[in-house]
Amino acid sequence: MEDSKETLADAFDRGGAAAVQAYLESLEIDGVRRELDRLSGEARQTLIAALPPEVAGDLLEDLAEAQAIEILEDFEASEAAPIISALPEDIGADFLREMGSKESDAILDQIATEAPEEEAELRERVAYDDETAGALMESRFVAFDERCTVEEVLTDLSERAEEYSDRDVQYVYVTGGNGVLVGVLPLRTLVLTRRAHQVASIMVKAPVSVNVGDDLEALEDVFESAGYLGLPVLDDAGMLRGVVLRAAVEEARADHYADDYLKSAGILGGEELRSLPLATRSRRRLAWLAPNIILNLAAASVISMFEDTLQAVIALAVFLPIVSDMSGCAGNQAVAVSIRELALGLVRPTDFIRVIWKEISVGLINGFVLGCILGCIAWLWKGSLALGLVIAGALMINSVISVLIGGLVPLLLKRFKADPALASGPILTTCTDVCGFFLVLGLASTVIDKLPQ
């Protein structure tokens, strides 16, 4: 079993930083995460503070991002700064961007006292919006001036082989005198060319590139339409600032979807790990739950309006939650399809007519089927055809309303720059509850003397 008897703390006591390093290397990545997750906050911070910054950095890279940020935030700036400095710039900047701005500022100020240049570069990186090319790019790329010869490039590559050994150099970028990207040179071409040539004469001119501000959607499009493994990232002046890898874009996409799922389930403010302090976990979850009480009350007040009807025909009480739940489920399916079609670019936020048409048709069929099933059950169970008809009618109509709302709300939210994954669910549920309660009780009121009292 992977549960060996020795723990991280044991290893530290036995042999200090070196033993910890060896111990961590013997674990699978999940094991490392779990071990640190299980330590108390204090033990964890003591342990990491005792490691050399490079080792601590390697360790943080292995952790889930939320774990790493929690650890960095818990340190004094003077302890966190060397670890951030030891990390590759893109990862250090990622952590700083996700941290509280007070903590990240303190760390950057600390770095500035020792390495003002590094601080300036990090600040520039941190300033890029999340999920843009600027945030996702690596700043470690290999670029040469266009006047270099192949010989010079190969010599330099060979001399700096050590420095390049931790990454996969596939392209050499070629810049003009002013740092503007003018071409790209696949390593393959370099290998197969006479060494006296100037790189300018053999490079691919006007290569495909992206802008530092390009967002995830734009990056996906570029990578989807061609098989590049990496693309140069330029600033507005055309200067080469970094390289964004296909893998980094796909990773950001995966994280984005994972995050959408969390948000749709009401986990906000970044991902929750159960190792976070109880107060934080509780507060974040309440921030979502408390407003939901208001929405629920608004919906349930419809029931209050019809208390007389309900009291007269108490059998309705059984079917109230079923009708609202079932249409909620139907509407949720429409929400998911709209969010997916938006992501795939199959529907635009303005394509209302198409969504209305496509959802009404499904809503009518499924509402009819579900309405008939539930109506028959109500009829047979409570022995009242009129009750069956009320329930069937309410579920049919409410299903159509729900899939319409469910299909349209994500488009509307997207159009007004709100987050469909976050807000669609509560809006939908409130609407389907209001309409469901209203339909069941309203229809029942109109035929109340035919219903079992």
Burial status of residue 396 (CB atoms within 10 A of its CB: 0-12, 13-18, 19 or more): buried
Reference 391, options 333, 329, 323, 332; nearest CA is 323
* Residues 330-359 close enough to bind its own copies by CB under 8 A: 330, 332-333, 335-337, 339-341, 343-348, 354-355, 358
- Long-range contacts formed by 7-13: CB under 8 A, 24+ apart: 7/35, 8/35, 8/36, 8/39, 8/47, 9/39, 9/43, 9/47, 12/47, 12/50
Which single residue is written with the structure tokens 């990622």?
A: 94
CB of 120 to its own copies, least distance (A): 26
d(CA 136, CA 59): 20
CB of 10 to its own copies, least distance (A): 20
* Residues 98-137 close enough to bind its own copies by CB under 8 A: none
Burial status of residue 294 (CB atoms within 10 A of its CB: 0-12, 13-18, 19 or more): exposed
Q: Which two tokens stand for residue 404?
A: 């319409």
CB of 178 to its own copies, least distance (A): 28
337, 363 contact by CB (below 8 A): no
Pick 134 or 367: Cβ nearer its own copies = 367
DSSP state letter for 205: E
Pick 206 or 297: Cβ nearer its own copies = 297
CB of 53 to its own copies, least distance (A): 19
Among 11, 240, 243, 303, binds its own copies (CB under 8 A): 303
CB of 192 to its own copies, least distance (A): 5
* Residues 14-43 close enough to bind its own copies by CB under 8 A: 28-31, 33-34, 37
CB of 348 to its own copies, least distance (A): 8
* Chain Cα centroid distance, residue 69: 16
Question: Which residues are paired to 211 by β-bridges?
Answer: 234
* Residues 370-429 close enough to bind its own copies by CB under 8 A: 370, 373-374, 377, 429
Q: Choose one: 14-22, 113-121, 156-164, 232-240; the region binding its own copies (CB under 8 A).
A: 156-164
Pick 81 or 410: Cβ nearer its own copies = 410
d(CA 269, CA 283): 10
Site string for its own copies, 63-82 (x = CB under 8 A): -x--x---------------
* Residues 168-227 close enough to bind its own copies by CB under 8 A: 168-170, 186-188, 190-192, 221, 224-225, 227
CB of 240 to its own copies, least distance (A): 19
